[in-house]
Structure 1
Amino acid sequence: MSRTEDSLVEQYAPLVRRQALQLVSRLPASVELDDLIQAGMMGLLDAVRRYQVLVQAQFETYAITRIRGAMLDELRSQDWLPRSVRSKSRQIDKAIQTLRQRLLREPAESEIAAELDLPLDQYHLLLEEAVGVQVVHYEDLTGPVDADRQDVLAYLDQETSHSTPLLNPLDQLLSHGLRAALVAAIEALPEREKLLLSLQFEKDLNQKEIALVLGVTEGRVSQLRSQAVARIRASLDKDSWGNALTPSEYQLLL
């Protein structure tokens, strides 16, 4: 590795850790932070070796895509979230959508549990199992890819190695109106769930701190976050965002 490459890796190593911390905070406890950091460092090294100065493409923008892609690849190799859990989370999403159409409002926990034909305590267990389920499932990422249904990580590899300028993913989000859809979905959340997301993502509090603010257990924080994510997913699915997003846009939702 040349001195220039070594310098860039050293300079942007903290970026890898930040990305890993953001990702691991939304994943099950079985996922090791060090594993994500190690994968991210490989992604950073790959970015350093591939990067060329392009118009509208800052190195950090380019590097984040490759770092997060490497981390997702690592998660895929670990099979970090069983398909059964993804299936259960989809059941929650569907129940929320059905109840919204029927009630014309946000359903309460007890109503969601009843729609799933589960006692409330069993529904809470289902929410705990769904910890780590994101706004968009990993396999959803293959949706916008070409007709051959190639793996999204391979697609991202092609996307970031083209000679054409790399668009800023945030600009893509804004141009497609996804940001507005997300804001609307979050605004529609029950106040407690909205506050939880604000404490986590705006105030950067950890789960223990959020539990103290809300006056609940840490386990209850996990349940409420899973339920909030399910509500947001249901809103995006209802508005058919799943068919309109690019892989780069999905990256920002993970």
Structure 2
Amino acid sequence: MKSVVYNPTETREERLTRHLPMVKRIAGQMAAQLPASVDIADLEQAGMIGLWDALERGLEQSAAQFGAYAAIRIRGAIYDELRRQDWLPRRSRTQERSIQKGIQALTQSLRRPPEDVEIAAHLGWTLEAYQAALAQSSLQLVYLEDLSPGEGLDFTERHADNSIAQPDAALQDEQLERDLQSAIMELPERERMILSLYYQEDLQLKEIGQVLDVSESRVSQLMKQAVMRLRASLQAHGAAPAR
């Protein structure tokens, strides 16, 4: 069966308009995995730039090839924009990596979730220094730079290839969800409860502290420690690359 080629008389603006739903769909999917502070309109604007770039470079592709290629360019442009807006200082990111690796090593050796004092001792930090590092950490499960670890190239340039279609990510997403559910079940009971109260019951940190009879700052520390454990577990399953 012969591939359908785009009408050569169709203008770039017409093609752009025809693929706007793809931009909105991809931006919406990515926004669902990002902090609420990220404006979906910004993602859509970046995605539009990726779509326009795809139209500039992929004029001779078949319909199926262009759809896959455009999705790569759209997603890549959004990743690159988010990386440029990354708010976490490099020093804090380095500390997070150290904590994550420490948790992973201790979990493997102890065969149980390590206590915060054990993590601090493993890192050679005081408990106060460890808790201060937690306070500066983020709640992001997987970093954008983890998703695009190449040297000297942005996500779009590394993944754009006119000759191949975008791999279907559905199975990978399902595996990530299973790994995440498993990692949550392995959390210490109190940390698992905090995540449940925060994300499912919509309680504020202060309210969770009242339920658990701890301070709001302690709830924040435990929540971020839970995220560190989840990252370590996902990395162990190959879902989140180490840095």
TM-score by length of 1: 0.63
Shift of 1:190: 2.5
Q: Partner of 1:249 in structure 2?
A: none
In 2, Cα distance between equivalents of 1:106 and 1:21: 31
Q: Partner of 1:104 in structure 2?
A: 111
Q: Name the CA shift for 1:210/1:21 in 2 (closer, same or farther; >3 Å).
A: farther
Calculate percent identity across the aligned residue pairs: 35
Q: Name the CA shift for 1:234/1:212 in 2 (closer, same or farther; >3 Å).
A: closer
Q: How does 1:162-173 map to 2 (within 5 A)?
A: 162=163, 164-172=164-172
Q: Does 1:124 align with 2:96?
A: no
Query: SS of 2:63's equivalent?
Result: coil
- Equivalent residues of 1:44, 1:67 under 8 A apart: yes
- Which of 189-198 and 123-132 deviates more? 189-198
- Equivalent residues of 2:195, 2:223 under 8 A apart: yes
- Equivalent residues of 2:113, 2:188 under 8 A apart: yes
In 2, Cα distance between equivalents of 1:231 and 1:67: 31
In 2, Cα distance between equivalents of 1:151 and 1:47: 15
Deviations 1:214-241 (A, max 9, x none): 6248866654443223212222444556
* CA radius of gyration, larger in: 2
In 2, Cα distance between equivalents of 1:221 and 1:43: 40
Deviations 1:34-67 (A, max 9, x none): 5444323323444567485328x9x5x7665443
Match of 1:154 among 152, 157, 181: 157
Q: How does 1:130-141 map to 2 (within 5 A)?
A: 130-131=137-138, 133-136=140-143, 138-139=145-146, 141=148
Match of 1:85 among 82, 92, 101: 92
- Equivalent residues of 1:113, 1:123 under 8 A apart: yes
Q: Name the CA shift for 1:67/1:193 in 2 (closer, same or farther; >3 Å).
A: farther
Match of 1:8 among 8, 19, 28: 19
In 1, Cα distance between equivalents of 2:50 and 2:194: 32
Query: SS of 1:166's equivalent?
Result: coil
TM-score by length of 2: 0.66
Q: Does 1:215 align with 2:222?
A: no
- Equivalent residues of 2:139, 2:227 under 8 A apart: no
Q: Name the CA shift for 1:214/1:12 in 2 (closer, same or farther; >3 Å).
A: farther
- Equivalent residues of 1:136, 1:233 under 8 A apart: no
Match of 2:28 among 7, 18, 25: 18
- Equivalent residues of 1:131, 1:223 under 8 A apart: no
User: Gaps (5+ residues) in structure 2?
Assistant: 1-11, 210-214
In 2, Cα distance between equivalents of 1:153 and 1:89: 26
Query: In structure 2, what residue type is equivalent to 1:228?
Result: A
Query: In structure 1, what residue type is equivalent to 2:63?
Result: V
Query: SS of 1:189's equivalent?
Result: coil
Q: CA RMSD in A?
A: 4.1
User: Gaps (5+ residues) in structure 1?
Assistant: 246-254
Number of residue pairs aligned between Structure 1 and Structure 2:
222
Q: Partner of 1:40 in structure 2?
A: 47
